[in-house]
Structure 1
Amino acid sequence: MVLLVVQPLLVGGYLPGVPRRSGRYLHRWTGALLVTAVILHVAGLWRTSPSDMIDALLFVSPTLFSPWGGAAMWAIFAAALLAVFRLRGSLRLRAWRLGHSGLVLAAVLASVMHALLIEGTMGPLSKVLLCGVAIAAIAKVLFDLRAWKTLTRPRG
């Protein structure tokens, strides 16, 4: 969850002492770290309960938090894949900004739902606060960067 807070703050240039250009570079690396963390999370769960993981990955799990975790995972993977295509020049800026922003927003919201529904090691207050900060961070950056503004074409 902490990486979901840091990611938008890096790309938006909101972390003190981190210039915006460096923030964008670090955004890529923390994105790779986030994908790695999700893979390790899923691998660890697979190791402890393969049948539950199969149910979760197929969206047939009886637990309420599993579908949200699966949705968050696939949204994170898709956002990362779009970033790779953008770096290779395979995507236009407009399509990339809209797609990446939409997938990232979906990933954060699904991750928040997943985290809030799990009864785990985090206390309820710290979990709610961290989830609130993640939502606030993504909302602030998406609003300020106005990814959707690429839908309008200049007149003239």
Structure 2
Amino acid sequence: MIIPIAIAAGSPLLAWRNAVYIAAGFAGVVALALLLLQPLLSGSYLPGLRLRLGRRLHAWVGGAIVAAVLVHVGALWITSPPDVLDALLFDSATDFSAWGVVAMWAVFATALLAAFRSRIRLILWRLCHVVLAATIVVGSVVHALLIDGTMGLGSKAALCALVLVAAAKVITDLRLLADLRRLAGRRVAR
């Protein structure tokens, strides 16, 4: 997680960029790095971390991801409102914009879902959460890989691969796909 951030900090692409643009880029890099922590926390894969504390930290890191996305998009808006508007309307000339926008809305939807967790049946909540999480992971990874930016190709590819593997492991290990099949079977039986 730290290596891509360090590589981005030393990138020659930052020369002659203003502070707001640099903050926008770093917020995106930090959000992607934090995305690696999310499945590790929810699946209790970090050594010495109890499941309950891991889940609590998962919620806090989720909040940090929301904040990083807000800084990323907000700072980009300050530097170029027309580009952000084009991206939000899926009218951008760059392919990476659409992937980023889809991931952004999935992040916001996940935060909203988390806020109403106690009002939703657990299996339905897990279904929605895993679908949104997968959307965030895929959208964020494709968004990052399509950008020719400060992270450097090797460190960015490695971080993206780790994010994908960690998310896939949690979905598999926590039997989230089995929950999806079980919920789908209930819907068909009715």
* TM-score for both structures, normalised by structure 1: 0.94
Q: Which amino acid aligns with 1:9?
A: L
Residue 64, structure 1, aligned to residue 95, structure 2:
yes
Comparing 14-23 with 25-34, greater Cα deviation is found at 14-23
Task: Give CA-to-partner distance per residue, 1:41-98, whole Å, 9 cap, x none.
Answer: 0001000000000001111111111000000101111111111110xx2111011000
Identity %: 54
CA distance in 2, matches of 1:18, 1:59: 41
CA distance in 2, matches of 1:73, 1:99: 16
Quick one: which of 133, 136, 142 aligns to 1:104? 133
Q: Which amino acid aligns with 2:151?
A: M
Residue 136, structure 1, aligned to residue 171, structure 2:
no
- Tell me which residue corresponds to 1:52: 83
SS of 1:18's partner is coil
Shift of 1:149: 2.1
- Within a 5 Å distance, the mapping from 1:72-87 to structure 2 comes to 72-86=103-117
Q: Which runs of 5+ in 1 are unaligned?
A: none
* TM-score for both structures, normalised by structure 2: 0.77
Q: Which amino acid aligns with 1:92?
A: R
- Tell me which residue corresponds to 1:118: 147
Give runs of ≥4 in structure 1 deviating > 4 Å: none
Shift of 1:146: 1.3
CA distance in 2, matches of 1:15, 1:55: 40
The count of corresponding residues between Structure 1 and Structure 2 is 151
Larger radius of gyration: 2
- Within a 5 Å distance, the mapping from 1:83-94 to structure 2 comes to 83-86=114-117, 89-94=118-123
Q: Which amino acid aligns with 2:79?
A: T
Shift of 1:148: 2.8
CA distance in 2, matches of 1:77, 1:137: 21
CA distance in 2, matches of 1:24, 1:123: 32
Shift of 1:152: 2.1
